[in-house]
Amino acid sequence: MVALDRLFPAHLATLQATADRALVAADGEALLIGAGQLRTQFLDDRTDPYVASPHFKHWAPILDAPGSFVLHCPGQRPRLLFHQPKDYWHKPPSLPTAPWLDAFEVVLLRSPQEARAHLPAHTVYIGDDSLKDPLSWGFKACNPGPALACLHYARAVKTPYELACLREASTLGARAHQAAAAAFHAGASEYAIHLQYLAATGLTEAELPYSNIIATNEAGAVLHYTELSRVAPNQYRSLLIDAGAQVRGYASDITRTYATTAGPFQALLADMDQLQQRLCAKVKPGIYYPDIHQQAHREIGQLLIDHGLIRCSLDQAIDTEVTSVFFPHGIGHLLGLQVHDIGGHQQDEQGTTLPPPKAHPYLRLTRTLEPGMVVTIEPGIYFIPMLLERAHQDHRRSSIHWDHIEALLPFGGIRIEDDVVATDQGALNLSRAAFSALA
Ligand SMILES: [Mn+2]
Protein backbone atom coordinates (compact mmCIF):
# COMPACT_ATOMS: atom_id res chain seq x y z
CA MET A 1 0.00 0.00 0.00
CA VAL A 2 1.46 3.41 -0.89
CA ALA A 3 1.98 5.88 1.93
CA LEU A 4 -0.86 8.08 0.73
CA ASP A 5 -3.37 5.26 1.10
CA ARG A 6 -2.17 4.51 4.64
CA LEU A 7 -2.79 8.13 5.60
CA PHE A 8 -6.24 8.25 4.01
CA PRO A 9 -8.42 6.77 6.83
CA ALA A 10 -7.24 9.40 9.34
CA HIS A 11 -7.86 12.10 6.72
CA LEU A 12 -11.39 10.84 6.24
CA ALA A 13 -12.01 10.82 10.01
CA THR A 14 -11.03 14.52 10.12
CA LEU A 15 -13.44 15.30 7.28
CA GLN A 16 -16.24 13.42 9.03
CA ALA A 17 -15.74 15.41 12.23
CA THR A 18 -15.83 18.70 10.30
CA ALA A 19 -18.89 17.58 8.34
CA ASP A 20 -20.67 16.79 11.63
CA ARG A 21 -20.08 20.37 12.79
CA ALA A 22 -21.24 21.71 9.40
CA LEU A 23 -24.45 19.71 9.77
CA VAL A 24 -25.09 21.16 13.22
CA ALA A 25 -24.53 24.65 11.75
CA ALA A 26 -26.99 23.94 8.92
CA ASP A 27 -29.48 22.00 11.07
CA GLY A 28 -29.23 19.00 8.73
CA GLU A 29 -28.90 15.26 9.22
CA ALA A 30 -26.87 14.21 6.17
CA LEU A 31 -24.45 15.89 3.80
CA LEU A 32 -24.56 15.18 0.05
CA ILE A 33 -21.45 16.43 -1.76
CA GLY A 34 -21.68 16.65 -5.54
CA ALA A 35 -18.72 16.09 -7.85
CA GLY A 36 -20.23 18.47 -10.43
CA GLN A 37 -21.45 17.92 -13.96
CA LEU A 38 -20.19 18.36 -17.48
CA ARG A 39 -21.25 21.75 -18.81
CA THR A 40 -22.39 22.19 -22.39
CA GLN A 41 -21.11 25.23 -24.27
CA PHE A 42 -23.49 27.91 -25.53
CA LEU A 43 -25.35 26.82 -28.69
CA ASP A 44 -23.08 23.81 -29.05
CA ASP A 45 -22.99 20.14 -28.16
CA ARG A 46 -19.41 20.33 -26.89
CA THR A 47 -18.65 20.48 -23.20
CA ASP A 48 -16.10 22.48 -21.19
CA PRO A 49 -13.30 20.47 -19.61
CA TYR A 50 -14.72 18.81 -16.50
CA VAL A 51 -13.27 19.90 -13.16
CA ALA A 52 -14.31 18.01 -10.02
CA SER A 53 -15.68 20.13 -7.19
CA PRO A 54 -13.04 20.77 -4.49
CA HIS A 55 -15.52 19.59 -1.83
CA PHE A 56 -15.91 16.27 -3.60
CA LYS A 57 -12.22 15.59 -4.24
CA HIS A 58 -11.54 16.48 -0.59
CA TRP A 59 -13.36 13.22 0.25
CA ALA A 60 -12.64 11.09 -2.79
CA PRO A 61 -9.68 11.59 -5.15
CA ILE A 62 -11.77 10.89 -8.25
CA LEU A 63 -11.23 13.48 -10.95
CA ASP A 64 -13.09 11.93 -13.89
CA ALA A 65 -16.58 10.95 -12.71
CA PRO A 66 -19.03 13.83 -13.13
CA GLY A 67 -22.45 13.22 -11.62
CA SER A 68 -21.00 11.31 -8.64
CA PHE A 69 -21.60 12.15 -4.97
CA VAL A 70 -20.30 11.46 -1.49
CA LEU A 71 -23.00 10.99 1.14
CA HIS A 72 -22.05 11.56 4.78
CA CYS A 73 -24.43 10.54 7.57
CA PRO A 74 -23.00 11.09 11.09
CA GLY A 75 -21.81 7.87 12.70
CA GLN A 76 -22.00 5.86 9.47
CA ARG A 77 -19.48 4.73 6.89
CA PRO A 78 -19.45 7.35 4.10
CA ARG A 79 -21.11 6.33 0.86
CA LEU A 80 -19.62 6.94 -2.57
CA LEU A 81 -22.41 7.24 -5.15
CA PHE A 82 -20.32 6.59 -8.24
CA HIS A 83 -21.82 7.73 -11.53
CA GLN A 84 -21.01 5.28 -14.30
CA PRO A 85 -23.46 5.81 -17.16
CA LYS A 86 -24.11 3.18 -19.80
CA ASP A 87 -22.64 4.99 -22.78
CA TYR A 88 -21.17 3.80 -26.06
CA TRP A 89 -20.12 7.30 -27.21
CA HIS A 90 -17.67 7.84 -24.38
CA LYS A 91 -15.68 5.61 -22.09
CA PRO A 92 -17.50 5.58 -18.75
CA PRO A 93 -15.20 6.23 -15.76
CA SER A 94 -13.83 3.13 -14.08
CA LEU A 95 -14.36 2.64 -10.38
CA PRO A 96 -10.95 3.14 -8.70
CA THR A 97 -9.32 0.03 -7.30
CA ALA A 98 -7.02 1.82 -4.84
CA PRO A 99 -7.08 0.80 -1.15
CA TRP A 100 -8.53 4.16 -0.05
CA LEU A 101 -11.83 3.05 -1.55
CA ASP A 102 -12.23 0.48 1.28
CA ALA A 103 -13.29 3.34 3.55
CA PHE A 104 -16.46 3.82 1.50
CA GLU A 105 -19.61 1.90 0.87
CA VAL A 106 -19.90 2.11 -2.91
CA VAL A 107 -23.15 2.48 -4.85
CA LEU A 108 -23.15 2.58 -8.66
CA LEU A 109 -25.40 5.17 -10.32
CA ARG A 110 -26.44 4.94 -13.97
CA SER A 111 -27.74 8.52 -13.78
CA PRO A 112 -27.14 11.25 -11.17
CA GLN A 113 -30.89 11.26 -10.44
CA GLU A 114 -30.61 7.75 -9.00
CA ALA A 115 -28.85 9.31 -6.01
CA ARG A 116 -32.23 10.56 -4.80
CA ALA A 117 -33.24 7.07 -3.70
CA HIS A 118 -30.35 7.01 -1.20
CA LEU A 119 -30.98 10.32 0.55
CA PRO A 120 -32.17 10.41 4.16
CA ALA A 121 -34.52 13.17 5.34
CA HIS A 122 -33.01 16.61 6.01
CA THR A 123 -30.10 16.19 3.61
CA VAL A 124 -27.97 19.27 3.02
CA TYR A 125 -26.51 19.54 -0.50
CA ILE A 126 -23.05 20.96 -1.20
CA GLY A 127 -22.35 21.27 -4.89
CA ASP A 128 -22.63 23.31 -8.05
CA ASP A 129 -25.89 24.52 -9.56
CA SER A 130 -25.93 21.96 -12.36
CA LEU A 131 -28.34 19.57 -10.59
CA LYS A 132 -31.59 19.73 -12.52
CA ASP A 133 -34.26 21.16 -10.24
CA PRO A 134 -32.49 20.63 -6.87
CA LEU A 135 -35.63 21.80 -5.04
CA SER A 136 -37.50 18.71 -6.25
CA TRP A 137 -34.85 16.56 -4.54
CA GLY A 138 -36.32 17.70 -1.21
CA PHE A 139 -33.03 18.99 0.22
CA LYS A 140 -33.08 20.64 3.59
CA ALA A 141 -30.83 23.31 2.01
CA CYS A 142 -28.49 23.83 -0.95
CA ASN A 143 -25.04 25.25 -0.09
CA PRO A 144 -26.18 26.91 3.16
CA GLY A 145 -23.78 29.66 4.26
CA PRO A 146 -23.18 28.35 7.80
CA ALA A 147 -22.20 24.88 6.52
CA LEU A 148 -19.90 26.30 3.82
CA ALA A 149 -18.26 28.65 6.33
CA CYS A 150 -17.47 25.69 8.58
CA LEU A 151 -16.10 23.51 5.76
CA HIS A 152 -14.07 26.30 4.16
CA TYR A 153 -12.46 27.47 7.38
CA ALA A 154 -11.40 23.98 8.39
CA ARG A 155 -9.98 23.19 4.96
CA ALA A 156 -7.01 25.54 5.43
CA VAL A 157 -5.41 23.15 7.91
CA LYS A 158 -4.19 20.11 6.01
CA THR A 159 -4.17 16.52 7.24
CA PRO A 160 -0.98 14.42 6.92
CA TYR A 161 -2.59 12.78 3.87
CA GLU A 162 -3.08 16.16 2.23
CA LEU A 163 0.46 17.28 3.06
CA ALA A 164 1.76 14.11 1.41
CA CYS A 165 -0.33 14.85 -1.72
CA LEU A 166 0.95 18.44 -1.78
CA ARG A 167 4.52 17.23 -1.39
CA GLU A 168 4.08 14.96 -4.42
CA ALA A 169 2.51 17.80 -6.39
CA SER A 170 5.59 19.93 -5.64
CA THR A 171 7.87 17.08 -6.73
CA LEU A 172 6.03 16.73 -10.02
CA GLY A 173 6.03 20.51 -10.56
CA ALA A 174 9.76 20.82 -9.82
CA ARG A 175 10.58 18.07 -12.32
CA ALA A 176 8.56 19.87 -15.00
CA HIS A 177 10.14 23.23 -14.14
CA GLN A 178 13.52 21.64 -14.72
CA ALA A 179 12.44 20.43 -18.17
CA ALA A 180 10.99 23.85 -19.01
CA ALA A 181 14.17 25.66 -17.95
CA ALA A 182 16.25 23.38 -20.19
CA ALA A 183 13.93 24.12 -23.15
CA PHE A 184 14.23 27.86 -22.48
CA HIS A 185 18.03 27.76 -22.37
CA ALA A 186 17.95 25.82 -25.66
CA GLY A 187 15.98 28.70 -27.24
CA ALA A 188 12.54 27.05 -27.51
CA SER A 189 9.42 29.18 -28.02
CA GLU A 190 7.06 29.76 -25.08
CA TYR A 191 4.68 27.25 -26.63
CA ALA A 192 7.43 24.64 -27.02
CA ILE A 193 8.52 25.24 -23.41
CA HIS A 194 4.90 24.65 -22.40
CA LEU A 195 4.81 21.33 -24.27
CA GLN A 196 8.02 20.21 -22.55
CA TYR A 197 6.49 21.16 -19.23
CA LEU A 198 3.33 19.17 -19.91
CA ALA A 199 5.29 16.13 -21.08
CA ALA A 200 7.35 16.16 -17.89
CA THR A 201 4.22 16.21 -15.70
CA GLY A 202 2.39 13.55 -17.67
CA LEU A 203 -0.74 15.70 -17.27
CA THR A 204 -3.06 17.09 -19.91
CA GLU A 205 -3.53 20.84 -20.04
CA ALA A 206 -6.97 20.48 -18.42
CA GLU A 207 -5.38 18.57 -15.52
CA LEU A 208 -3.05 21.43 -14.60
CA PRO A 209 -4.19 23.31 -11.48
CA TYR A 210 -4.05 26.58 -13.47
CA SER A 211 -3.00 27.80 -16.90
CA ASN A 212 0.77 27.92 -17.29
CA ILE A 213 2.39 31.36 -17.27
CA ILE A 214 5.46 31.12 -19.50
CA ALA A 215 6.63 34.66 -20.05
CA THR A 216 9.87 35.54 -21.80
CA ASN A 217 11.56 38.96 -21.90
CA GLU A 218 9.07 41.89 -21.59
CA ALA A 219 6.13 39.49 -21.13
CA GLY A 220 7.35 38.83 -17.58
CA ALA A 221 5.75 42.17 -16.68
CA VAL A 222 2.27 40.80 -17.39
CA LEU A 223 1.25 39.19 -14.09
CA HIS A 224 -1.01 36.55 -15.63
CA TYR A 225 0.48 36.21 -19.10
CA THR A 226 -0.89 33.09 -20.82
CA GLU A 227 -0.28 33.83 -24.51
CA LEU A 228 2.30 31.07 -25.25
CA SER A 229 3.97 32.68 -28.24
CA ARG A 230 4.72 30.17 -31.03
CA VAL A 231 7.81 32.07 -32.18
CA ALA A 232 11.03 32.43 -30.23
CA PRO A 233 12.71 35.86 -30.51
CA ASN A 234 16.31 36.17 -31.70
CA GLN A 235 17.51 36.72 -28.19
CA TYR A 236 16.22 35.58 -24.84
CA ARG A 237 16.99 37.75 -21.84
CA SER A 238 14.68 36.27 -19.20
CA LEU A 239 12.00 33.71 -18.42
CA LEU A 240 9.32 33.95 -15.74
CA ILE A 241 7.53 30.62 -15.44
CA ASP A 242 4.61 30.18 -13.01
CA ALA A 243 3.34 26.62 -13.35
CA GLY A 244 2.07 23.87 -11.09
CA ALA A 245 1.01 20.26 -11.07
CA GLN A 246 -1.74 18.20 -9.54
CA VAL A 247 -1.65 14.96 -7.54
CA ARG A 248 -4.91 13.40 -6.32
CA GLY A 249 -6.59 16.78 -6.76
CA TYR A 250 -3.97 18.74 -4.79
CA ALA A 251 -2.04 21.54 -6.45
CA SER A 252 1.46 22.91 -6.46
CA ASP A 253 2.03 26.53 -7.46
CA ILE A 254 5.65 27.31 -8.29
CA THR A 255 7.33 30.29 -9.98
CA ARG A 256 10.90 30.62 -11.10
CA THR A 257 12.69 33.38 -13.00
CA TYR A 258 15.81 32.89 -15.10
CA ALA A 259 18.25 35.29 -16.76
CA THR A 260 20.45 34.38 -19.71
CA THR A 261 23.31 36.83 -19.12
CA ALA A 262 25.11 38.52 -16.23
CA GLY A 263 24.12 42.12 -15.50
CA PRO A 264 21.85 44.26 -13.30
CA PHE A 265 18.81 42.02 -13.85
CA GLN A 266 20.66 38.87 -12.83
CA ALA A 267 22.09 40.65 -9.78
CA LEU A 268 18.57 41.69 -8.79
CA LEU A 269 17.34 38.14 -9.35
CA ALA A 270 20.04 36.66 -7.08
CA ASP A 271 19.10 39.04 -4.26
CA MET A 272 15.38 38.37 -4.77
CA ASP A 273 16.06 34.68 -4.27
CA GLN A 274 17.64 35.39 -0.87
CA LEU A 275 14.82 37.78 0.02
CA GLN A 276 12.20 35.18 -0.90
CA GLN A 277 13.83 32.54 1.31
CA ARG A 278 13.91 34.93 4.26
CA LEU A 279 10.16 35.46 3.81
CA CYS A 280 9.52 31.71 3.50
CA ALA A 281 11.28 31.20 6.85
CA LYS A 282 8.62 33.40 8.49
CA VAL A 283 5.86 30.87 7.79
CA LYS A 284 5.19 29.58 11.31
CA PRO A 285 2.19 28.95 13.56
CA GLY A 286 1.05 32.15 15.30
CA ILE A 287 2.27 34.48 12.53
CA TYR A 288 -0.35 36.88 11.19
CA TYR A 289 0.05 36.36 7.42
CA PRO A 290 -0.41 40.05 6.41
CA ASP A 291 2.71 40.76 8.49
CA ILE A 292 4.70 38.69 5.98
CA HIS A 293 3.20 40.81 3.22
CA GLN A 294 4.24 44.03 5.02
CA GLN A 295 7.71 42.59 5.58
CA ALA A 296 7.93 41.79 1.86
CA HIS A 297 7.28 45.46 1.03
CA ARG A 298 10.06 46.55 3.39
CA GLU A 299 12.51 43.99 2.00
CA ILE A 300 11.63 44.88 -1.59
CA GLY A 301 11.97 48.59 -0.79
CA GLN A 302 15.47 48.00 0.57
CA LEU A 303 16.36 45.91 -2.48
CA LEU A 304 15.21 48.70 -4.81
CA ILE A 305 17.38 51.16 -2.87
CA ASP A 306 20.40 48.82 -2.84
CA HIS A 307 20.18 48.30 -6.60
CA GLY A 308 19.81 52.02 -7.30
CA LEU A 309 16.29 51.76 -8.69
CA ILE A 310 14.71 54.21 -6.26
CA ARG A 311 16.15 57.22 -4.43
CA CYS A 312 13.98 57.83 -1.39
CA SER A 313 14.16 56.51 2.16
CA LEU A 314 12.73 53.08 2.94
CA ASP A 315 9.94 54.61 5.04
CA GLN A 316 9.08 56.98 2.22
CA ALA A 317 9.05 54.11 -0.29
CA ILE A 318 6.50 52.29 1.88
CA ASP A 319 4.40 55.27 2.95
CA THR A 320 4.08 56.78 -0.54
CA GLU A 321 3.47 53.37 -2.17
CA VAL A 322 6.61 53.42 -4.30
CA THR A 323 7.13 49.70 -3.60
CA SER A 324 3.61 48.99 -4.92
CA VAL A 325 4.69 50.21 -8.37
CA PHE A 326 7.07 47.23 -8.51
CA PHE A 327 5.19 44.73 -6.31
CA PRO A 328 1.49 45.23 -7.05
CA HIS A 329 0.09 41.88 -5.82
CA GLY A 330 -0.25 39.94 -2.58
CA ILE A 331 2.61 37.94 -1.07
CA GLY A 332 0.65 34.71 -1.46
CA HIS A 333 -2.40 32.63 -0.61
CA LEU A 334 -3.69 29.36 0.80
CA LEU A 335 -2.92 26.32 -1.36
CA GLY A 336 -4.63 22.95 -1.53
CA LEU A 337 -7.53 21.54 -3.52
CA GLN A 338 -7.65 24.84 -5.37
CA VAL A 339 -4.58 26.79 -6.36
CA HIS A 340 -6.08 29.77 -4.51
CA ASP A 341 -7.73 27.72 -1.78
CA ILE A 342 -10.89 29.20 -0.38
CA GLY A 343 -11.35 30.75 3.06
CA GLY A 344 -8.31 33.06 3.09
CA HIS A 345 -10.21 35.98 4.63
CA GLN A 346 -12.21 33.85 7.08
CA GLN A 347 -11.44 34.24 10.78
CA ASP A 348 -13.61 31.47 12.27
CA GLU A 349 -15.96 28.61 11.41
CA GLN A 350 -18.92 30.93 11.72
CA GLY A 351 -17.81 32.85 8.65
CA THR A 352 -16.53 36.13 10.10
CA THR A 353 -14.28 37.65 7.45
CA LEU A 354 -11.38 40.08 7.66
CA PRO A 355 -10.80 41.95 4.39
CA PRO A 356 -7.22 42.80 3.37
CA PRO A 357 -5.74 46.15 4.44
CA LYS A 358 -6.92 49.09 2.28
CA ALA A 359 -3.48 49.68 0.79
CA HIS A 360 -3.17 45.98 -0.19
CA PRO A 361 -6.55 44.98 -1.66
CA TYR A 362 -5.14 41.97 -3.56
CA LEU A 363 -3.90 40.14 -0.48
CA ARG A 364 -5.83 36.84 -0.49
CA LEU A 365 -4.98 35.69 3.03
CA THR A 366 -5.63 37.55 6.29
CA ARG A 367 -5.47 34.65 8.73
CA THR A 368 -3.06 33.83 11.52
CA LEU A 369 -1.08 30.74 10.54
CA GLU A 370 -1.74 27.41 12.26
CA PRO A 371 0.21 24.13 12.10
CA GLY A 372 -0.68 22.33 8.88
CA MET A 373 -1.61 25.41 6.88
CA VAL A 374 -0.01 25.54 3.43
CA VAL A 375 0.64 28.90 1.81
CA THR A 376 2.58 30.27 -1.10
CA ILE A 377 5.28 32.92 -0.69
CA GLU A 378 5.71 34.76 -3.98
CA PRO A 379 7.38 38.17 -3.86
CA GLY A 380 7.92 39.93 -7.17
CA ILE A 381 9.56 42.93 -8.77
CA TYR A 382 8.16 43.91 -12.15
CA PHE A 383 8.72 46.68 -14.66
CA ILE A 384 5.13 47.25 -15.73
CA PRO A 385 4.81 50.15 -18.20
CA MET A 386 1.27 51.05 -17.08
CA LEU A 387 2.20 51.35 -13.39
CA LEU A 388 5.48 53.12 -14.17
CA GLU A 389 3.69 55.69 -16.34
CA ARG A 390 1.24 56.32 -13.52
CA ALA A 391 4.10 56.82 -11.03
CA HIS A 392 5.85 59.12 -13.52
CA GLN A 393 2.81 61.39 -13.43
CA ASP A 394 2.23 61.50 -9.67
CA HIS A 395 4.07 62.26 -6.41
CA ARG A 396 6.38 59.27 -6.90
CA ARG A 397 8.19 60.64 -9.94
CA SER A 398 11.15 62.03 -7.99
CA SER A 399 11.56 58.78 -6.01
CA ILE A 400 12.45 56.61 -8.98
CA HIS A 401 15.70 56.35 -10.96
CA TRP A 402 14.07 56.36 -14.37
CA ASP A 403 17.14 55.64 -16.50
CA HIS A 404 17.94 52.55 -14.42
CA ILE A 405 14.36 51.34 -14.80
CA GLU A 406 14.52 51.94 -18.55
CA ALA A 407 17.41 49.47 -18.82
CA LEU A 408 15.40 46.77 -17.02
CA LEU A 409 12.15 47.08 -19.00
CA PRO A 410 13.29 44.48 -21.60
CA PHE A 411 13.51 41.84 -18.83
CA GLY A 412 9.85 42.10 -17.74
CA GLY A 413 10.06 41.10 -14.12
CA ILE A 414 10.93 38.64 -11.39
CA ARG A 415 8.70 36.37 -9.33
CA ILE A 416 9.91 33.52 -7.14
CA GLU A 417 7.25 31.36 -5.54
CA ASP A 418 7.37 28.37 -3.21
CA ASP A 419 4.76 26.30 -1.39
CA VAL A 420 5.40 26.34 2.36
CA VAL A 421 3.85 24.44 5.29
CA ALA A 422 3.58 26.03 8.74
CA THR A 423 4.72 23.36 11.22
CA ASP A 424 5.53 23.38 14.93
CA GLN A 425 9.17 23.00 13.89
CA GLY A 426 8.97 26.07 11.63
CA ALA A 427 8.63 26.55 7.88
CA LEU A 428 8.68 23.45 5.69
CA ASN A 429 9.37 24.50 2.11
CA LEU A 430 7.88 21.81 -0.18
CA SER A 431 9.11 23.41 -3.40
CA ARG A 432 12.75 23.92 -2.38
CA ALA A 433 12.82 20.38 -1.00
CA ALA A 434 11.50 19.07 -4.31
CA PHE A 435 14.13 20.96 -6.37
CA SER A 436 16.91 19.83 -4.00
CA ALA A 437 15.85 16.21 -4.33
CA LEU A 438 16.15 16.49 -8.13
CA ALA A 439 19.63 17.99 -8.01
MN1 LIG B 1 0.48 31.59 -6.42
Q: Are residues 151 and 164 in the same domain?
A: no
Report the CATH number that the domain containing residue 353 is assigned in CATH. 3.90.230.10
Question: What's the pLDDT tens digit per position in 315-370?
Answer: 999 999 999 999 999 999 999 999 999 999 999 999 999 999 998 999 999 999 99
Q: Point out the domain boundary residue: 101, 133, 155.
A: 155
Arithmetic mean of pLDDT, 63-88: 97
Contact predicate 98/90, CB 8 Å? no
Q: Are residues 124 and 225 in the same domain?
A: no
The DSSP bridge pattern shows strands 79-83 and 213-216 to be unpaired
Q: Are residues 175 and 320 in the same domain?
A: yes
Report the CATH number that the domain containing residue 7 is assigned in CATH. 3.40.350.10
Report the separation in Å between the CA atom of 277 and the middle of ligand 1, taken as the mean of its atom positions: 15
Report the separation in Å between the CA atom of 102 and the middle of ligand 1, taken as the mean of its atom positions: 34
Question: What's the pLDDT tens digit per position in 92-136?
Answer: 999 999 999 999 999 999 999 999 999 999 999 999 987 877 778
Provide the 10 A C-beta neighbour count for residue 154: 18
Q: How confident is the model at residue 383 (pLDDT cuts 50, 70, 90)?
A: very high
Q: Point out the domain boundary residue: 118, 136, 155.
A: 155
> Total domain count for the chain?
2
pLDDT at 158: 98
Residue 264, domain extent: 160-438
Report the separation in Å between the CA atom of 419 and the middle of ligand 1, taken as the mean of its atom positions: 8
Report the separation in Å between the CA atom of 436 and the middle of ligand 1, taken as the mean of its atom positions: 20
Q: Point out the domain boundary residue: 139, 155, 171.
A: 155
The protein residues having their C-beta less than 5 angstroms from ligand 1 (an ion) are 253, 376
CA distances from 205 to 131, 156, 167, 212 (A): 27, 26, 21, 9
What percent of the chain stands above pLDDT 70?
100
Q: Are residues 363 and 398 in the same domain?
A: yes
Q: Are residues 297 and 393 in the same domain?
A: yes
Q: Are residues 196 and 225 in the same domain?
A: yes
Q: Are residues 169 and 235 in the same domain?
A: yes
Q: What is the pTM of this model?
A: 0.96
Q: Are residues 123 and 234 in the same domain?
A: no
Distance CA 169, CA 376 (A): 14
Q: Are residues 136 and 166 in the same domain?
A: no
| DSSP assignment of 235-268 | ---EEEEEE--EETTEE--EEEEEESS-SHHHHH
Question: What's the pLDDT tens digit per position in 276-322?
Answer: 999 999 999 999 999 999 999 999 999 999 999 999 999 999 999 99
Q: Are residues 181 and 119 in the same domain?
A: no
Q: Are residues 116 and 194 in the same domain?
A: no
Q: Are residues 173 and 250 in the same domain?
A: yes
Report the separation in Å between the CA atom of 171 and the middle of ligand 1, taken as the mean of its atom positions: 16
